[in-house]
Amino acid sequence: MDKIIFATSNEGKMKEVRLILQNLKAEVLSMKEAGIKIDIIEDGKSFEENAIIKAKAVSEYTDAIVLADDSGLEVDYLGKQPGIYSARFMGEDTSYSVKNQAIIEKLKDAKEEERSARFVCVIAAVLPDGEVITTRGTIEGMIGYQEEGEGGFGYDPILYLPEYKTTTAGLPIEMKNKISHRGKALRLMAEELQKRMA
Protein backbone atom coordinates (compact mmCIF):
# COMPACT_ATOMS: atom_id res chain seq x y z
CA MET A 1 0.00 0.00 0.00
CA ASP A 2 1.24 3.51 -0.80
CA LYS A 3 2.34 5.65 2.09
CA ILE A 4 1.45 9.33 2.36
CA ILE A 5 3.14 11.62 4.83
CA PHE A 6 1.17 14.73 5.70
CA ALA A 7 3.51 17.64 6.44
CA THR A 8 1.69 19.43 9.25
CA SER A 9 2.21 20.06 12.95
CA ASN A 10 -1.38 21.27 13.34
CA GLU A 11 -3.43 18.57 15.12
CA GLY A 12 -6.74 20.19 14.11
CA LYS A 13 -5.85 19.93 10.43
CA MET A 14 -4.57 16.37 10.84
CA LYS A 15 -7.82 15.17 12.44
CA GLU A 16 -9.80 16.47 9.46
CA VAL A 17 -7.28 15.15 6.92
CA ARG A 18 -7.47 11.58 8.28
CA LEU A 19 -11.26 11.53 7.95
CA ILE A 20 -11.30 13.11 4.49
CA LEU A 21 -8.66 10.72 3.10
CA GLN A 22 -9.98 7.58 4.81
CA ASN A 23 -11.19 6.02 1.54
CA LEU A 24 -7.92 6.53 -0.27
CA LYS A 25 -6.03 3.23 -0.54
CA ALA A 26 -2.98 4.57 1.25
CA GLU A 27 -1.61 4.75 4.75
CA VAL A 28 -1.71 8.38 5.91
CA LEU A 29 0.90 9.33 8.52
CA SER A 30 1.48 12.66 10.19
CA MET A 31 4.99 14.10 10.14
CA LYS A 32 5.31 13.17 13.82
CA GLU A 33 4.22 9.56 13.17
CA ALA A 34 6.78 9.36 10.39
CA GLY A 35 9.44 10.53 12.85
CA ILE A 36 10.21 13.70 10.91
CA LYS A 37 10.85 16.66 13.18
CA ILE A 38 11.79 19.81 11.28
CA ASP A 39 11.03 23.50 11.48
CA ILE A 40 9.88 24.81 8.15
CA ILE A 41 10.22 28.50 7.28
CA GLU A 42 7.09 29.50 5.40
CA ASP A 43 8.38 32.49 3.46
CA GLY A 44 6.24 32.10 0.34
CA LYS A 45 3.99 34.89 -0.91
CA SER A 46 0.92 32.77 -1.60
CA PHE A 47 -0.89 29.73 -0.18
CA GLU A 48 0.43 27.76 -3.17
CA GLU A 49 4.06 28.75 -2.56
CA ASN A 50 3.87 27.94 1.15
CA ALA A 51 2.16 24.58 0.62
CA ILE A 52 4.89 23.59 -1.86
CA ILE A 53 7.65 24.80 0.51
CA LYS A 54 6.26 22.54 3.30
CA ALA A 55 5.77 19.48 1.08
CA LYS A 56 9.25 19.83 -0.49
CA ALA A 57 10.94 20.31 2.89
CA VAL A 58 9.51 17.02 4.18
CA SER A 59 10.07 15.14 0.92
CA GLU A 60 13.84 15.64 1.49
CA TYR A 61 13.49 13.07 4.30
CA THR A 62 11.35 10.38 2.64
CA ASP A 63 10.59 8.50 -0.57
CA ALA A 64 6.88 8.47 0.25
CA ILE A 65 4.25 10.79 -1.29
CA VAL A 66 4.22 14.01 0.77
CA LEU A 67 1.19 16.26 1.11
CA ALA A 68 1.03 19.65 2.82
CA ASP A 69 -1.75 22.13 3.56
CA ASP A 70 -1.44 25.89 3.60
CA SER A 71 -4.62 27.60 4.58
CA GLY A 72 -6.08 30.69 6.17
CA LEU A 73 -8.89 33.16 6.65
CA GLU A 74 -9.41 36.01 4.18
CA VAL A 75 -11.51 38.89 5.55
CA ASP A 76 -12.59 41.23 2.74
CA TYR A 77 -13.07 44.24 5.07
CA LEU A 78 -9.41 43.82 6.14
CA GLY A 79 -8.05 43.64 2.58
CA LYS A 80 -8.05 39.79 2.71
CA GLN A 81 -5.94 39.68 5.90
CA PRO A 82 -4.85 37.67 7.81
CA GLY A 83 -4.65 35.38 4.72
CA ILE A 84 -1.33 33.54 4.51
CA TYR A 85 -0.44 35.05 7.91
CA SER A 86 -3.42 33.45 9.69
CA ALA A 87 -1.34 31.27 12.02
CA ARG A 88 1.10 34.14 12.72
CA PHE A 89 -1.56 36.89 13.18
CA MET A 90 -0.93 38.54 16.62
CA GLY A 91 1.77 35.92 17.26
CA GLU A 92 1.72 32.10 16.99
CA ASP A 93 1.30 31.74 20.77
CA THR A 94 -1.69 34.05 21.12
CA SER A 95 -4.87 32.12 21.87
CA TYR A 96 -7.58 31.91 19.22
CA SER A 97 -10.17 33.42 21.57
CA VAL A 98 -7.98 36.57 21.62
CA LYS A 99 -7.37 36.50 17.85
CA ASN A 100 -11.06 35.89 17.11
CA GLN A 101 -12.17 38.72 19.42
CA ALA A 102 -9.65 41.04 17.76
CA ILE A 103 -11.11 40.34 14.31
CA ILE A 104 -14.67 40.85 15.57
CA GLU A 105 -13.51 44.18 17.07
CA LYS A 106 -11.83 45.28 13.82
CA LEU A 107 -15.19 44.76 12.08
CA LYS A 108 -17.26 46.65 14.65
CA ASP A 109 -18.17 49.36 12.11
CA ALA A 110 -18.63 46.96 9.17
CA LYS A 111 -22.11 46.65 7.73
CA GLU A 112 -23.66 43.21 7.24
CA GLU A 113 -22.75 43.17 3.53
CA GLU A 114 -19.15 44.15 4.33
CA ARG A 115 -18.52 41.13 6.56
CA SER A 116 -17.77 38.59 3.81
CA ALA A 117 -14.86 36.24 4.46
CA ARG A 118 -13.64 32.82 3.43
CA PHE A 119 -11.32 30.02 4.37
CA VAL A 120 -8.84 29.07 1.65
CA CYS A 121 -6.90 25.81 1.55
CA VAL A 122 -4.18 24.79 -0.88
CA ILE A 123 -2.91 21.23 -0.79
CA ALA A 124 0.47 20.52 -2.36
CA ALA A 125 1.79 17.08 -3.22
CA VAL A 126 5.36 16.11 -3.96
CA LEU A 127 5.48 12.65 -5.56
CA PRO A 128 8.46 10.28 -5.35
CA ASP A 129 9.44 11.17 -8.97
CA GLY A 130 9.53 14.86 -8.02
CA GLU A 131 6.24 15.84 -9.64
CA VAL A 132 4.47 18.68 -7.80
CA ILE A 133 0.67 19.06 -7.83
CA THR A 134 -1.50 21.67 -6.09
CA THR A 135 -5.26 21.85 -5.55
CA ARG A 136 -7.32 24.62 -3.94
CA GLY A 137 -10.64 24.84 -2.12
CA THR A 138 -12.58 27.68 -0.47
CA ILE A 139 -15.62 28.10 1.74
CA GLU A 140 -17.46 31.43 1.80
CA GLY A 141 -19.08 32.91 4.88
CA MET A 142 -19.17 36.09 6.94
CA ILE A 143 -17.49 37.23 10.13
CA GLY A 144 -19.95 36.66 12.97
CA TYR A 145 -20.77 39.22 15.70
CA GLN A 146 -19.59 36.81 18.38
CA GLU A 147 -17.82 33.44 18.59
CA GLU A 148 -20.07 30.41 18.22
CA GLY A 149 -19.58 26.64 18.24
CA GLU A 150 -17.33 24.19 20.04
CA GLY A 151 -15.93 22.17 17.11
CA GLY A 152 -13.05 22.72 14.71
CA PHE A 153 -10.03 24.86 15.54
CA GLY A 154 -8.48 28.27 14.85
CA TYR A 155 -10.90 30.79 13.36
CA ASP A 156 -13.81 28.33 13.03
CA PRO A 157 -15.91 30.07 15.75
CA ILE A 158 -16.11 33.32 13.72
CA LEU A 159 -16.77 32.10 10.15
CA TYR A 160 -20.57 32.21 10.09
CA LEU A 161 -22.38 30.32 7.34
CA PRO A 162 -25.82 31.91 6.81
CA GLU A 163 -27.09 28.78 5.01
CA TYR A 164 -26.35 26.60 8.06
CA LYS A 165 -27.21 29.29 10.64
CA THR A 166 -23.99 28.53 12.50
CA THR A 167 -20.23 28.83 12.17
CA THR A 168 -17.86 26.15 10.89
CA ALA A 169 -17.21 25.45 14.59
CA GLY A 170 -20.93 24.75 15.04
CA LEU A 171 -20.97 21.94 12.47
CA PRO A 172 -20.21 18.28 13.21
CA ILE A 173 -16.75 17.46 11.81
CA GLU A 174 -18.19 15.26 9.02
CA MET A 175 -20.38 18.14 7.84
CA LYS A 176 -17.51 20.65 8.00
CA ASN A 177 -15.37 18.25 5.95
CA LYS A 178 -18.13 17.89 3.34
CA ILE A 179 -18.30 21.61 2.60
CA SER A 180 -14.98 23.01 3.79
CA HIS A 181 -12.02 24.51 1.92
CA ARG A 182 -9.89 21.57 3.16
CA GLY A 183 -12.46 18.92 2.19
CA LYS A 184 -12.74 20.36 -1.33
CA ALA A 185 -8.99 20.73 -1.90
CA LEU A 186 -8.20 17.28 -0.47
CA ARG A 187 -10.85 15.49 -2.52
CA LEU A 188 -9.45 17.13 -5.68
CA MET A 189 -5.98 15.98 -4.60
CA ALA A 190 -7.25 12.44 -3.92
CA GLU A 191 -8.57 12.31 -7.52
CA GLU A 192 -5.18 13.40 -8.86
CA LEU A 193 -3.37 10.80 -6.75
CA GLN A 194 -5.80 8.03 -7.72
CA LYS A 195 -5.15 8.72 -11.42
CA ARG A 196 -1.44 8.20 -10.81
CA MET A 197 -1.81 5.16 -8.54
CA ALA A 198 -4.10 3.29 -11.00
> Which residues belong to the active site?
70
> What 8-state DSSP symbol labels residue 172?
-
Check residue 18 and give left, alpha or beta (phi > 0: left; psi -120 to 50: alpha): alpha
* Per-residue interface string for the shown chain with ligand ITT, residues 25-44, x marking contact by CB under 6 A: -----------------x--
| Minimum CB distance to ligand ITT smaller for 31 or for 190 | 31
Touching ligand ITT, residues 42-71 (CB under 6 A): 42, 54, 69-71
- Are 107 and 96 contacting, i.e. CB atoms less than 8 angstroms apart? no
> What 8-state DSSP symbol labels residue 18?
H
Among the listed residues 13, 115, 136, 184, the single contact to ligand ITT using CB under 6 A: 13
- Are 42 and 124 contacting, i.e. CB atoms less than 8 angstroms apart? no
In the Cβ-directed half-sphere of 189, how many Cα atoms lie within 13 Å? 30
Q: Report, in Å, the least distance between residue 113 CB and ligand ITT.
A: 23
Q: Report, in Å, the least distance between residue 195 CB and ligand ITT.
A: 25
| Minimum CB distance to ligand ITT smaller for 94 or for 194 | 94
Does 155 bind ligand ITT (CB under 6 A)? Our answer is: yes
